[in-house]
Amino acid sequence: MDSGNSKVLEAQRLYGRLETSIFARNFDSARAFLNQLKVKLTEFSGLPPLYRHTSTQVEELKLARSILEQAVLLSVGTEDQESFELHFLQLKPYYTDTRHLIPPSNFEYIMLGLNLLRLLVQNRIAEFHTELELLSPEALKNDCIKIVVELEQALMEGAYNHVLRSRKVPHDSYNYFINLLAKTVRDEIAGCSEKAYDFLTLDDAKTIFKFTRDQDLMTYISEEHPDWEIRNRCVYFQKVKDFSLCKEIPSLQLINQTLGYARELERIV
């Protein structure tokens, strides 16, 4: 018991330092603390998937949850989507399986919302909806979630201006993904424009791409679509025109095959 307690206390101390580092945006030291903490967590038997009932289980669970929440935030801070996913997957059981053991966390909806947003950004729509279905009705009413759901609907409808316009976020960490989303939307618009127009005037393009300044548009074009030409204050799109011809029917091969079958059949008695 004592050893369990002391371990928890030590971990809690480390956790305090992790939190402060993240708050101070000192990501390198935060990462170091986090790694130490994760190893410590493997020694707690009260955690998933074992869920052993020990005297310190509640403490352990709470602590582990907080650590992982911080880890997710840290990933957002370092703009590391991969590690975000890893940590969120580890965190998830604490939200789904431990409701009867520990009180819900303050960060729960923020985390869930963030994850949904990430899926949206990564265009993993199927998983997005799976996750959505798993949420309770209360969760859906929460602002953190609602904003993501609305964004998704807007995207699906093609109401891109709505997406680009929404800027009110429930938590700072959302900004990273929202920005990414905006870029995704612009890419979509660019793709459509390429198909739809031979060329656009710069002003029209600015409106369509929701840029406020010419400069932004120019940077965007030079970074993302260097193949576009800008002449006479117009943007010319390159067109992909060559249709691949219908493939020839492999008639000779088919005939050979059929004859082969016939011969085989003949031989079978």
Partner 1 sequence: MTVASTASGLLAMLQEQQPQLKKYALHNLNSLADSFWHEISASISTIESFYEDEYFEQRELAALVASKVFYYLGEHNDSLTYALGANSLFDVLEDSDYVRTLVAKCLDHYIALRKTREGEGATAIDPRLVAIVERMLDKCMQDRKYQQAIGMALDSQRLDKLQEAIRKSENVPGMLAYCFRLARTHVDKREFRQEVLRLIVNQHQGLHSPDYLTVCQCLMFLNDPQTVANILDKLIKGDKIEALLAYQIAFDLFENENQLFLLNVRDRLPEARAGSSSGGGENTETTEQNGMMDVSTSAEAATNVEDSQDNIYVDRMGKLKGILSGETPIHLTLQFLYSRNKSDLLILKTIKHSVETRNSVCHSATIYSNALMHAGTTVDTFLRDNLDWLSRATNWAKFSATAGLGVIHRGHLQQGRSLMAPYLPQDGGTGGGSPYSEGGALYALGLIHANHGEGIKSFLLESLRKTNNEVIQHGACLGLGLAALGTADDEIYEDIKHVLYTDSAIAGEAAGIAMGLLMVGSASDKAGEMLTYAHDTQHEKIIRGLALGIALVVYGREEEADTLIEQMTRDQDPILRYGGMYALALAYRGTSNNSAIRRLLHFAVSDVSDDVRRAAVLALGFVLCSDPTQTPKIVSLLSESYNAHVRYGAAMAVGISCAGTASSEAISLLEPLTSDAVDFVRQGALMAMAMVLMQATEAREPHVAVFRRQLDKIVSDKHEDTMSKMGAILAYGILDAGGRNVTISLQSRTGHDRVMAVVGMAVFTQFWYWYPLTYFVSLSFAPTAFIGLNHELRMPKFDIISDAKPALFAYPAPTAPPSVNVNIKLPTAVLSTSGRSKSKAKKDTDAKTKAEKQPDTSSQMDESSSGKEAAKDGSEAMEVDSAVEKKAVNPEATSEVLSNPARVIPLQEKYVRFPEGCRYAPVKRTPAGFVMLRDLEPSEPVELVSTDSPASPAPAGGANGAPAAAPIPMGGVDLEPAPPEPFVYVP
Q: What gap in Å lies between CA 166 and CA 189, rounded to an integer?
A: 17
Could you say which of 30, 72, 91, 217 contacts partner 1 (CB under 8 A)? 91
- Contacting partner 1 (CB under 8 A), which of 56, 70, 98, 193? 98
Q: Is 268 in the site for partner 1 (CB under 8 A)?
A: yes
Cβ-contact 166, 174 below 8 angstroms: no
Residue reference for tokens 């300044």:
213
How many C-beta atoms lie closer than 10 Å to residue 19's C-beta?
17
Nearest partner of 60 among 20, 116, 1, judged by Cα? 1
For residues 111 and 91, give the distance between their C-alpha atoms in angstroms, rounded to a whole number. 9
**Least Å from the CB of residue 5 to partner 1:** 21
136 forms part of the interface with partner 1 (CB under 8 A): no
Distance CA 91, CA 107 (A): 11
How would you class 113 by CB atoms within 10 Å of its CB: exposed for 0-12, middle for 13-18, buried for 19 or more?
A: buried
Beta-bridged to residue 235, according to DSSP, are 200, 230
Choose, by CB under 8 A, the member of 14, 58, 101, 180 that binds partner 1.
101
Which residue of 90, 115, 173, 193 would you call a contact of partner 1, by CB under 8 A? Answer: 90
Helix axes 57-77, 2-23, angle to 10 degrees: 20
Our finding on whether 14 is near partner 1 (CB under 8 A) is: no
Stretch that binds partner 1, among 89-97, 204-212, 234-242, 247-255 (CB under 8 A): 89-97
- The piece of 5-13, 32-40, 143-151, 165-173 that touches partner 1 (CB under 8 A) is 32-40
What Cα–Cα distance (Å) separates residue 37 from each residue in 16, 63, 68? 11, 10, 10
Rule CB under 8 A: say whether 39 interacts with partner 1.
yes
Of positions 86, 102, 180, 218, contacts partner 1 by CB under 8 A: 86
> Is residue 70 near partner 1 by the rule CB under 8 A?
no
35 binds partner 1 (CB under 8 A): yes
Q: Does 93 bind partner 1 (CB under 8 A)?
A: yes
Compute the distance between CA of residue 4 and CA of residue 1 in angstroms, rounded to an integer: 5
Which residues 6+ apart lie within 8 Å of 198 measured at CB? 236, 237, 239
Size of the site for partner 1 (CB under 8 A): 25
Binding residues for partner 1 restricted to 191-250, rule: CB under 8 A: none
Q: Which one of the spans 2-10, 38-46, 111-119, 178-186 is the region binding partner 1 (CB under 8 A)?
A: 38-46
42 binds partner 1 (CB under 8 A): yes
- Given 3, 96, 212, 253, the residue binding partner 1 (CB under 8 A): 96
Distance in Å, CB of 21 to partner 1, minimum: 18
Contact residues toward partner 1 (CB under 8 A) are: 35, 38-39, 42, 48-51, 82, 85-87, 89-93, 96-98, 100-101, 267-269
